A and B are shown apart, each in its own frame.
Chain A
Amino acid sequence: MEDASDGAIRVEIKGLWVKFGAVAAVRGIDLTAYAGRATALLGRNGAGKSTTMRVLAGVIPPTEGVVRVDGLDVSEDLLAVKRLTGYCPDVGGLVPRATPWEHLQLAARLRRMEGWEDRAQDLLERFELGDAAHRVTSGFSHGMGRRLSVILACFHEPAVLLLDEPFDGVDPLGVEATLEVIADARARGAAVLVSTHLRDLAMQACENALVLRGGASVAELRAHELVGEEGAGVYRALLD
């Protein structure tokens, strides 16, 4: 991704290892993400995409290696890193008996946001969740939950936007809104990382891709190299 170096470095990962007991979920990944750029993390189940995202979100500590967000080390300045990132987890991501508005209120309070209500309302409307703003999320469909998770990740306009499976089970309008969120984030200079199994959508949203296999990176590619049938063949070959 050498051509991306025109923007500032937002995310820098060097030799990241994450172990759960004897199992290594991530084995020495290196990754650099730049301001105004979107990078896709691709790979099969268990490739280490979500674990890498969780480390960047400050939810899982790295076992080895250096992980920096806007120059801050996640192992040393966790709270500051959490303020800089916006995270949409791969599973659930919503407190079951809180309403979307309460989720946004909590995020706004903890991030010291002022006058956030208009933006919150606008995002809810864009993702067609305005009518459900005051209902508890346990009654939400999977797609509604995914859409709200994307809203929560981008709500505070973070420097690093981490979207783990944001398109999973989401209808076309939700996908469109998510693509807009990614475009907006890039436009204001955020680095975006998108983990997904939907290669075509990933290539639509990102210009770079990092393919992971068995917890290690196997290739860094430009988006156009993974587009279409030819791209599908390239990607398929990298998975085995």
Chain B
Amino acid sequence: MSTAHSWTELRSSGRDLASLLAFRRAGLTASGHRRLRLMGLLVLALTVTAAVAPAYLGGDFPRKNSGNVLALLPSASLAFLLLATFTAVASAGGREVVPRDQAVAFPVSPTTDHLGALLLAPLNIAWIMQAWLLLGAASYALGPSRVWAYEIPVLLWIVAATALAQVAGWLAEGVRRGRHGIGIFRVLVVVFALALGSLIVTGRLAPVLDHSPTSRLLVLLLDTQAGYWWRWALGLLVLAAIGLAAVVVGAIPARWALQRPMREELRLESGHFPARPTAASDFVMMLRIDRAAVWRSVPLRRGMTVLAVMPGAVALAGDLEWRMLTVLPGLVASGGALLFGVNTWCLDGRGALWRDSLPVGPRTAFLSRVVVLMEVLLCSAALTLVLAALRAGRPTVPEAVALLCSTIVVVVQVIAAGMRWSIARPFAVDLRSARATPAPPVVMAGYSARLAVSTTFTGLAFSGLAELHDARYAVCAAVVFLCWSGWRLLRATRRWEDPAVRARVVATVAG
């Protein structure tokens, strides 16, 4: 692809992307528009706060731990790149502005798709939190002098890292769609995991991180304090060039990947699933169909694998203490709910109408969906905790009890929220493609923020309780949390039992 051709295509794709966004916006109600504007303003305000407030609110300057924060900044910058890359790889290159089945009538080019995925990448609470963390850490460590000057490179790094991650996402998806792609991809993942594991076991992780290329970013930030403005300006140019090049070049692997057949999806769809004996009860039969809907969906399988392994691997690398592990189940449960739990009836897809015409009580259908969601969340959380526990030593009784309580509480909390949202705001979604999400990207960002806030609060509460000497405090707190979530879940059940409400949900989900 020549440079001139690239630019022409990029400009044309930019215009197409604007049209697709306008198409999406047209589907919003007046209140949806209002909510979107409010959410945008809120994120902007919080970003400015994250970038500026720590400079003024961290006490007198110079601060005694500024050096430590600065020393961690290159690792944090690298972690941001890794997180963005894992997200892009797990979501098969990134999200779609208009879902594939709806966009099929329009000539959407791979470059438009690439730009759309880039634009939607920040609509992810993990991405936003990491970005705020980078901005806040720089602000805290360098103080109120020349805030704008040192935050510009951080912002440019965030953009460049996201664009680079996008390129990696398309490359991984291209490999995965090859003839032996799934096998090759799995080998690559295992090699990466082994390399990381060996670094951790041999204690060489910290020295390697010290030599991370992102340490150049730290130099750039310090240039603003030393007054090396030429070097700073040159650094900005380099960062901007990296970002721009990644945006432009990303269109090439995007085209390569998107033109290849979706082998994993096709393999599942053409696969043979032998018959099993009829279940002994209505509930078990319903549960079996719901489980199949989860485990035979490519995005859900991929999502669950990433979810179960990633937080545990991070905890393993970070050598977290037991009392800090109480935050992990919330993180995993929130992520699990975002795979399908926030729009759980979409598992039936267009079969929702037929399924609702079957002679079975609505409570059985509801309970089956709750159980399948609970299984996914508990299994993912358990695997994460097993990984995280490998280096955490032996827990005290209050720590173990607090962790167990925290896990149960956040799982029930997330299920209650997911079931409520599934009834209040259903969407017709086909979870066939690995890029599919259970709700539109903006809605997903809202859900992920709400889940992150509530589960982090719960996790931190149990983290505090783990420090007390008596495990009974954690148990008592868990009972209170569970009563509250149980009541909300019961209310959602009653809503589902209303035929008018159910009809609306089922008709919407069936499309």
A residues sitting closer than 8 Å to B (CB atoms) are: 20, 54, 57-61, 78-80, 82-83, 85, 87-89, 91-99, 101-103, 105-111, 133-139, 149, 152
Give 26 pairs: A residue, B residue, CB < 8 Å, sorted on A: A54-B503, A57-B357, A60-B507, A82-B358, A82-B359, A89-B357, A91-B350, A92-B350, A92-B510, A93-B350, A94-B349, A94-B354, A96-B351, A96-B430, A97-B293, A99-B273, A105-B278, A106-B285, A107-B358, A109-B278, A109-B285, A110-B282, A110-B359, A111-B358, A136-B269, A136-B271
Asked, given contacts A60-B507, A91-B510, whether A134 binds B359 with beta carbons under 8 Å apart, the answer is no
Contact-residue bracket for chain B: 35 or more
Q: Are A135 and B503 in contact (CB under 8 A)?
A: no
Chain B contact residues: helix, strand, loop or mixed: helix
The residue in chain A whose Cβ has the minimal distance to the Cβ of B284 is A109
Q: Are A92 and B270 in contact (CB under 8 A)?
A: no
What is the bound-complex CA distance between A20 and B359, given in angstroms?
Answer: 24
Cβ of A66 to closest chain B Cβ, rounded Å: 16
What is the bound-complex CA distance between A180 and B180, given in angstroms?
Answer: 46
Q: Which of A78, A83, A138, A149: most chain B Cβ within 10 A? A: A138
The 6 A-B pairs of least Cβ separation, nearest first, read A92-B350, A139-B269, A95-B351, A82-B359, A89-B353, A61-B499
Asked, given contacts A93-B350, A96-B349, A152-B354, whether A101 binds B275 with beta carbons under 8 Å apart, the answer is yes
B residues sitting closer than 8 Å to A (CB atoms) are: 266, 268-275, 278-279, 282, 285-286, 288-289, 292-293, 296-297, 347-351, 353-361, 430-432, 499-500, 503-504, 506-507, 510-511
What is the bound-complex CA distance between A85 and B353, given in angstroms?
Answer: 13
Cβ of A123 to closest chain B Cβ, rounded Å: 15
What is the bound-complex CA distance between A20 and B289, given in angstroms?
Answer: 30
Inside 8 A of A78's CB, which chain B residues have their CB?
499
Inside 8 A of A139's CB, which chain B residues have their CB?
266, 269-270
The residue in chain B whose Cβ has the minimal distance to the Cβ of A90 is B353
Cβ of A143 to closest chain B Cβ, rounded Å: 15
Inside 8 A of B286's CB, which chain A residues have their CB?
106
Q: Are B296 and A136 in contact (CB under 8 A)?
A: yes
Q: Are A95 and B293 in contact (CB under 8 A)?
A: yes
Cβ of B18 to closest chain A Cβ, rounded Å: 31
Inside 8 A of B504's CB, which chain A residues have their CB?
20
Q: Are A60 and B270 in contact (CB under 8 A)?
A: no
- Apart from the given pairs A99-B273, A102-B288, A134-B275, 11 other A-B contacts in the complex at a CB distance below 8 Å: A54-B507, A79-B360, A89-B357, A92-B349, A94-B350, A95-B349, A95-B351, A96-B431, A98-B293, A103-B351, A109-B282
Q: Are A59 and B271 in contact (CB under 8 A)?
A: no
Cβ of B26 to closest chain A Cβ, rounded Å: 20
Inside 8 A of A88's CB, which chain B residues have their CB?
354
Inside 8 A of B350's CB, which chain A residues have their CB?
91-94, 96
Q: Are B269 and A135 in contact (CB under 8 A)?
A: yes
Q: Which of B273, B288, B361: most chain A Cβ within 10 A? A: B273
Asked, given contacts A82-B359, A105-B278, whether A54 binds B292 with beta carbons under 8 Å apart, the answer is no
Pick the residue among B278, B296, B500, B506 that contacts A97 (CB under 8 A). Answer: B296
Inside 8 A of A111's CB, which chain B residues have their CB?
358-359
Pick the residue among B273, B351, B503 that contacts A93 (CB under 8 A). Answer: B351
Q: Are B268 and A59 in contact (CB under 8 A)?
A: no
Q: Are B272 and A134 in contact (CB under 8 A)?
A: yes
Q: Which of A98, A99, A135: most chain B Cβ within 10 A? A: A98
What is the bound-complex CA distance between A207 and B275, given in angstroms?
Answer: 40
What is the bound-complex CA distance between A103 and B355, given in angstroms?
Answer: 9
Q: Are A82 and B278 in contact (CB under 8 A)?
A: no
What is the bound-complex CA distance between A221 and B269, given in angstroms?
Answer: 45
Q: Are A105 and B285 in contact (CB under 8 A)?
A: yes
Inside 8 A of B353's CB, which chain A residues have their CB?
54, 57, 59, 87, 89, 91-93
Inside 8 A of A59's CB, which chain B residues have their CB?
353, 356-357, 503, 506-507
Q: Are A138 and B292 in contact (CB under 8 A)?
A: no
Q: Are B357 and A82 in contact (CB under 8 A)?
A: yes
Q: Which of B356, B357, B499: most chain A Cβ within 10 A? A: B357
Q: Are B273 and A134 in contact (CB under 8 A)?
A: yes
Pick the residue among A92, A101, A133 that contacts B351 (CB under 8 A). Answer: A92
Cβ of B197 to closest chain A Cβ, rounded Å: 34
What is the bound-complex CA distance between A133 and B275, given in angstroms?
Answer: 9
Inside 8 A of B282's CB, which chain A residues have their CB?
109-110
The residue in chain B whose Cβ has the minimal distance to the Cβ of A99 is B273
What is the bound-complex CA distance between A99 and B270, given in angstroms?
Answer: 11
Inside 8 A of A91's CB, which chain B residues have their CB?
350, 353, 510-511
The residue in chain A whose Cβ has the minimal distance to the Cβ of B279 is A109
The residue in chain B whose Cβ has the minimal distance to the Cβ of A57 is B357
Q: Are A110 and B360 in contact (CB under 8 A)?
A: yes
Q: Are B354 and A93 in contact (CB under 8 A)?
A: yes
Inside 8 A of B499's CB, which chain A residues have their CB?
60-61, 78
Q: Which of A80, A111, A139: most chain B Cβ within 10 A? A: A139
Cβ of B412 to closest chain A Cβ, rounded Å: 26
Q: Which of B348, B351, B360: most chain A Cβ within 10 A? A: B351
Inside 8 A of B278's CB, which chain A residues have their CB?
105, 108-109
